[in-house]
Amino acid sequence: MNLWRASGAMRRYLVASVACGVLITGATIASSVVLAHIVAGIITDPASRTLAHWTGPLWILLSLWAVRTLAHWAQGRLSARGATAVIADLAGQVLHRITALPPRQLAAERDSAATVITRGLDGLRPYFTAYLPSVFLAGILTPAAVVVIAVYDVSSAVIVLIALPLIPIFMVLIGLVTSERSEASLAAMTTLQSRLLDLVAGIPTLLALGRIGGSADRIAELGAAHRRSAMATLRIAFLSALVLELLATLGVAMVAVGVGLRLVFGEMTLAAGLTALLLAPEVFWPLRRVGMEFHAAQDGKTAADNAFRLLDTVSPSLGGTKRVTAPIEIEVLGTDVRPGSVTVLTGPNGVGKTTLLHAILGLDVSRAGPILVNGVDVTDLDQRAWWGQVAWLSQRPVLVPGTVLDNLELFGPLLDLDLACRTAGFDTVLAALPEGLDTVIGRGGTGLSLGQRQRLGLARVLGSAAPVLLLDEPTSHLDAACEDRVLRAITARAAGGATVLVVGHRDPVLAIGDRVLAMGSLVDA
C-alpha cells in the first residue's frame, strides 16, 4: 500500500472510512435482525398486532436506520475531503520532485508529470469516494453478515459460503480466458480513437489543402469500426459483471428455497428464516458495489501509479559549499571563457550547446568534461551563491505572474533599467503597455508576443549586475536592426568586465565573438 506510506492525509482518510464502514455494518445487520423479528412476530402471534406492543422495536428500527443514513452521509463527506487532501498532497510532492530534476530529465518527464498533476490525479476522486468505501464495506459487512447468518441458521450460512468464493474464482477464470482477446480489442479501440482525434486535429490542414471532402466519410467508417471493436471488448468485460450478479442473486434465491423447505417441515422458526433471508443480500451487495466501481477507479489507480513512478525518480545530487568571486573565468571544453570578452558557442542542432549551459549553471552533470569556475569544479560550488552571480537567458525566457518590473528584476535589480530596456528594444513594448512597468503580465505572460518576451528576457539579463552572462540564442525572434543593437549591448557588457558566453548560429552573432567555440572543435576568432 504505497498510498499509506506516501501521505498523512491518506492515513486519516482510511481511519475515518473504516469507522464509517463499521458503523454502517452494525446498523445494517442490527436493523435486519430487528425487522425479521417484527415481521415474524406480527405473522405468528395475532395477539401482538397492536402498535403499542411494537413501540420499542419500532423505535430501535427507526434509530438504526437513522444511524445508517448518517453514517452514509458522513462517509460521503469524509471521503470527498480525504480525496481532496490526498490528491493535493500527491500533486505537490510530484511537482517538487520533478522540478528538482536536471533540465534534460525534466524535459523527458515533463509531459507525463503535467498529465498526472493537471488531469490524472483528479481521477483518484472516484477511487476514494466510491471504490475504496465499497472495498472496506466488502471487507467488514460481508464477513459480519455471514457470521450473523450462521448464528441464526447454519445451512444458509453454508450456501452463502459456497457462493462467495465462486465469485473471485470465476472472475479470475474469465479474466484468464479472455485477457488476450480483451487486450487486443482494447488496443484496437485506443488506436481507432486516436485516429479519430488525429483527423479532427488535422481539419485546419485539410481545409487549407482543400482535401476535407473524403475525410467525413472516413470519420463515419472509423466510428463504425470503433463501435464494433468496443462491443467486442464489452461482451467480454461484462461477463465478469454477469457472473457477479448471477452468483449474488442465485445465492439469495438458494437461501430462500432452503429456508422454505426447512420451514415446511418445522425444522426452524420463522424469525430465524427471515433473518437469514434479509441478511443474505447484505453479504453480496458490497461485492457488487466493488464490481461496479472497479472500472471507474482504474483511471485513478493508473494515475496514482504514474505519480509514484515520478516520485521514485532520483535527481543527481549537485552542488557543494565553495564560493567564487568576480572576475570569473570558466574553463569549459578545455578552453577558458575569460572575463572581459565574448565567447560564442556554436554547432549544429542537437549537439548539446544548451545542455552545456545547463552544466555550467550546475543544473546537470557535464557530458563534455569537467567545468571549472575560477579553478573550482562547478559541482562543488554553493548553488545559490553561484546562481546569484549569473544572469541567464534561456531559449524561452520565463515570465512569472506579476508586474513587468517583477519580471525585469527576476535575476536581481537592474543597474540602469531605462538603458537595459532601450538596448533590448523593450522600451517600445513598455511604452505601449497600459500601465508601463506596473502592468500585470501574469498567467503565463499572455499579452506578450514571443518577440516581446524575448526582449524582456534580454533586458533583464543585459541590465543585471551579474558578472557572468549566459545567453542562449539571444537574437532569435528579433529583426536585423534589433539584433544589431542587442549584439552591441552584449559586447559592451563584456567590455565592462563581464564573462559572456553566447550560444548562436547566425553570422552576425558569430562576428561579435572574441573567440568562437565550435562544439567538438575549437576556432580562435
Binders of another protein among residues 184 to 243 (CB under 8 A) are 193-212, 215-216, 219-220, 223-224, 226-227, 230-231, 234-235, 238-239, 241-243
Beta-carbon contacts of 148 under 8 Å, excluding residues fewer than 6 positions away, are 29, 33, 275, 279
- Measured distance CA(171)–CA(80) in Å, rounded: 30
Positions 358 through 397 that interact with another protein (CB under 8 A): 358, 361, 363, 384, 387, 390, 392, 394, 396-397
In the bound state with another protein, the residue whose beta carbon lies nearer, of 262 and 340, is 262
Pairing of strands 499-503, 468-472: parallel
Q: Does 87 bind another protein (CB under 8 A)?
A: yes
Q: Does 522 bind another protein (CB under 8 A)?
A: no
Three-state DSSP class for residue 417 = helix
Q: How many CA atoms lie less than 13 Å away from 516 in the CB half-sphere?
A: 15
**Which residue in 312, 317, 375, 443 binds another protein (CB under 8 A)?**
443
> In whole angstroms, how close is the CB of 193 to another protein at the nearest point?
7
AA identity, residue 245: E
Three-state DSSP class for residue 373 = strand
Of the candidate spans 10-18, 330-338, 433-441, 475-483, the one that interacts with another protein by CB under 8 A turns out to be: 475-483
- Measured distance CA(468)–CA(61) in Å, rounded: 79
Q: How many residues bind another protein (CB under 8 A)?
A: 142
**Which residue in 4, 8, 15, 77 binds another protein (CB under 8 A)?**
77
Q: How many residues does the chain have?
A: 525
> In whole angstroms, how close is the CB of 487 to another protein at the nearest point?
13
> In whole angstroms, how close is the CB of 239 to another protein at the nearest point?
8
In the bound state with another protein, the residue whose beta carbon lies nearer, of 101 and 330, is 101
In the bound state with another protein, the residue whose beta carbon lies nearer, of 11 and 485, is 485
Positions 450 through 469 that interact with another protein (CB under 8 A): 450-452
Cell of 371: 567545468
Element (H, E) at 94: helix 51-99
Pairing of strands 515-518, 521-523: antiparallel
**Which residue in 148, 167, 468, 482 binds another protein (CB under 8 A)?**
482
**Which residue in 98, 138, 324, 487 binds another protein (CB under 8 A)?**
98
User: Residue 116, Cβ neighbours under 10 Å: how many?
Assistant: 27
Positions 46 through 75 that interact with another protein (CB under 8 A): 46, 49-51, 54, 58, 61-62, 65-66, 68-70, 72-73, 75
Positions 294 through 353 that interact with another protein (CB under 8 A): 348-350
Three-state DSSP class for residue 516 = strand
Positions 10 through 29 that interact with another protein (CB under 8 A): none
Eight-class DSSP state of 514:
S
User: Residue 388, Cβ neighbours under 10 Å: how many?
Assistant: 12
Cell of 53: 406492543
> In whole angstroms, how close is the CB of 444 to another protein at the nearest point?
5
In the bound state with another protein, the residue whose beta carbon lies nearer, of 98 and 337, is 98
The binding track of 391-430 with respect to another protein, each residue x by CB under 8 A or -, is -x-x-xxx-xx--------xx-------------x--x--
Of the candidate spans 90-98, 304-312, 371-379, 491-499, the one that interacts with another protein by CB under 8 A turns out to be: 90-98
Angle between helices 132-152 and 51-99 (to 10 degrees): 150
Q: What would you measure as the largest C-alpha separation in the chain, in angstroms? A: 115
Q: Does 91 bind another protein (CB under 8 A)?
A: yes
Q: How many CA atoms lie less than 13 Å away from 145 in the CB half-sphere?
A: 31
In the bound state with another protein, the residue whose beta carbon lies nearer, of 212 and 340, is 212
Asked if the bond preceding 413 is cis, omega within 30° of 0, the reply is no
- Measured distance CA(155)–CA(256) in Å, rounded: 11
- Complete edge-to-edge strand list for the sheet that includes strand 372-373: 335-337, 330-332, 372-373, 376-377
In the bound state with another protein, the residue whose beta carbon lies nearer, of 478 and 502, is 478
Q: What angle do CA 236, 237, 240 make, to 5 degrees?
A: 95
Angle between helices 213-263 and 270-311 (to 10 degrees): 150
The binding track of 120-159 with respect to another protein, each residue x by CB under 8 A or -, is ----------------------------------------
> In whole angstroms, how close is the CB of 204 to another protein at the nearest point?
5
Of the candidate spans 97-105, 139-147, 333-341, 430-438, the one that interacts with another protein by CB under 8 A turns out to be: 97-105
**Which residue in 245, 305, 418, 438 binds another protein (CB under 8 A)?**
245
> In whole angstroms, how close is the CB of 326 to another protein at the nearest point?
17
**Which residue in 10, 14, 23, 113 binds another protein (CB under 8 A)?**
113
> In whole angstroms, how close is the CB of 219 to another protein at the nearest point?
5
Element (H, E) at 342: strand 342-346
Cell of 363: 543544473
